[in-house]
Structure 1
Amino acid sequence: MAKESFLKKLFANKIFANILIMIAILGVLITLTLVGLNFYTRHNQSITVPNVKGLQVNEAASFLSTAGLKYEVVDSVYRRGGTPGAILEQVPKASSQIKVGRTVFLTVQAFGQQMVSVPDLTDYSQRQAVSLLEALGFTNIQINEVYSEYKDLVISVEYNNKPLKKGQKVPIDAFVRMQVGNGIAEPAADSTDTVKPETKTPKSDESFF
């Protein structure tokens, strides 16, 4: 009887009753959260990522949606010979195992031609200048020797027969001409003993130094 009386008094206490209600609500919230997380992540359910490289984004979207995946285009880059809009890279890679509902990140071929900023190469050595241009991605480089007592030093870099300004952007496939000193001072106007400047294409295996 004493025990029953104690329990009645305990449950009659409003503070204790409120604590019990709060504990019950907290338990329900935790349960709902765990159930929701399990539903969202589709725990223990995984699928194979399809290969969408080479496809256009709208084509890839159909494949990925059918597989239960989302997609996001995160970057566009320019590659010579690439098809504009085609997917170049995907993360995760094809055949990877991921959960349903996850996102596949895509890199696509740019629609426009890549433009590259050309630094000021005046007074660089020919080898240094060629190496820098090749590192930037240029492949169409012509060397044109001109009269100058400073042999193999760059006088200017030209595009469309006009000297490039520092930081000027040109297409990555552009034909650029480098004016380089031939080590011979420009002869006087009436001199007949002259050496004709040369035009040549740099060797691709020349080192930076």
Structure 2
Amino acid sequence: MSLRKYLTSKVFFRQIMIAFVIVAILAFVFFNMLSFITNHGQEITVPNLSKLSVEQAETKLENLELDYVLLDTLDYQEEFPKFSVVEQEPKTGSKVKANRKVYLKINAAGYAYVTLPDLIEKTYRQAEPTLKSIGLEVGTVTYKPYLGKDMVLEMKHKGVAVKPGSKIMKTSKIDLVLGDGKIAFDETEIDSLMQLQEFEDTHE
């Protein structure tokens, strides 16, 4: 059979049709496998893990075919239970693929301790922001006679005097005793002045 007759024969057209069918089947199988491998159209909504324990979060993520990584422990926050999830990435409601890792930051077990700075003979204007910068608060402010006005003379915590370098729990209140700007005389000095005045009066 000549080439021209073969190209116009039923056999040739039958083989062309078979080839198209095979290509179509292969293409269909390929794209379906690709969709399966990449989980095309199978997105998972990231759940809200806030305030859950690590164990609770793990169970919830495993049920959705998601994984997790503990990223960090944050400073203690009262509104969250100890060791519970405070932050997560991706955020709640995000769409992800199966086996995606969700990064978690959890709450600490309690407030950390900080070192009390040396505020003695510092002014109140210096002391207040210094305490706040390390997570402490100014409590009760009292005054006593001292030449330096508003100068820190003593620091107290829960009524007990504390020294610079002491370990104090964050958010604690530090009471300050300040100078009132007036010169203080002790009783001995007052008695001496009175005796001097009496002596001068008797010898006038």
Under a length normalisation based on structure 2, what TM-score does the superposition of the two structures give? Answer: 0.65
Given that 1:140 and 1:173 are in contact with CA atoms closer than 8 Å, whether structure 2 keeps it comes out as no
Q: Deviations over 1:91-136 (max 9, x none)?
A: 1110012222121111222113322232222332202211221233
Q: Report the CA distance shift for 1:74/1:118 in structure 2 as closer, same or farther (over 3 A).
A: farther
Bigger Cα displacement from structure 2, 90-99 vs 74-83: 74-83
**One-letter code aligned to 1:71:** Y
Q: Which residue number in structure 2 is paired with residue 184 of structure 1?
A: 182
Q: Report the CA distance shift for 1:140/1:153 in structure 2 as closer, same or farther (over 3 A).
A: closer
Between the aligned partners of 2:115 and 2:90, the Cα distance in structure 1 is: 32
Match of 1:67 among 64, 67, 70: 64
Q: Report the CA distance shift for 1:81/1:156 in structure 2 as closer, same or farther (over 3 A).
A: farther
Q: Which residue number in structure 2 is paired with residue 55 of structure 1?
A: 52
Q: Deviations over 1:48-95 (max 9, x none)?
A: 111010111111111111111111222222013432122111111100
How is 1:82-121 mapped onto 2 (pairs within 5 angstroms)? 82-121=80-119
Q: Report the CA distance shift for 1:156/1:82 in structure 2 as closer, same or farther (over 3 A).
A: farther
SS at 2:109's partner residue?
coil
Bigger Cα displacement from structure 2, 86-95 vs 117-126: 117-126
Q: Which residue number in structure 2 is paired with residue 163 of structure 1?
A: 162
Quick one: percent identity of the two aligned structures?
27
Q: Which residue number in structure 2 is paired with residue 148 of structure 1?
A: 146
**One-letter code aligned to 1:129:** A
Deviation at 1:45, TM superposition (A): 4.5
**One-letter code aligned to 2:164:** K
In our comparison, the structure showing a higher alpha carbon Rg is: 2
The CA RMSD measured in Å over matched residues stands at: 2.7
Between the aligned partners of 1:81 and 1:47, the Cα distance in structure 2 is: 29
Given that 2:131 and 2:138 are in contact with CA atoms closer than 8 Å, whether structure 1 keeps it comes out as no
Between the aligned partners of 2:46 and 2:79, the Cα distance in structure 1 is: 27
SS at 1:60's partner residue?
helix
**One-letter code aligned to 2:92:** A
Which residues of structure 1 form unaligned runs of 5+?
A: 1-34, 193-209
Between the aligned partners of 1:152 and 1:123, the Cα distance in structure 2 is: 9
Between the aligned partners of 1:102 and 1:116, the Cα distance in structure 2 is: 38
Under a length normalisation based on structure 1, what TM-score does the superposition of the two structures give? Answer: 0.63
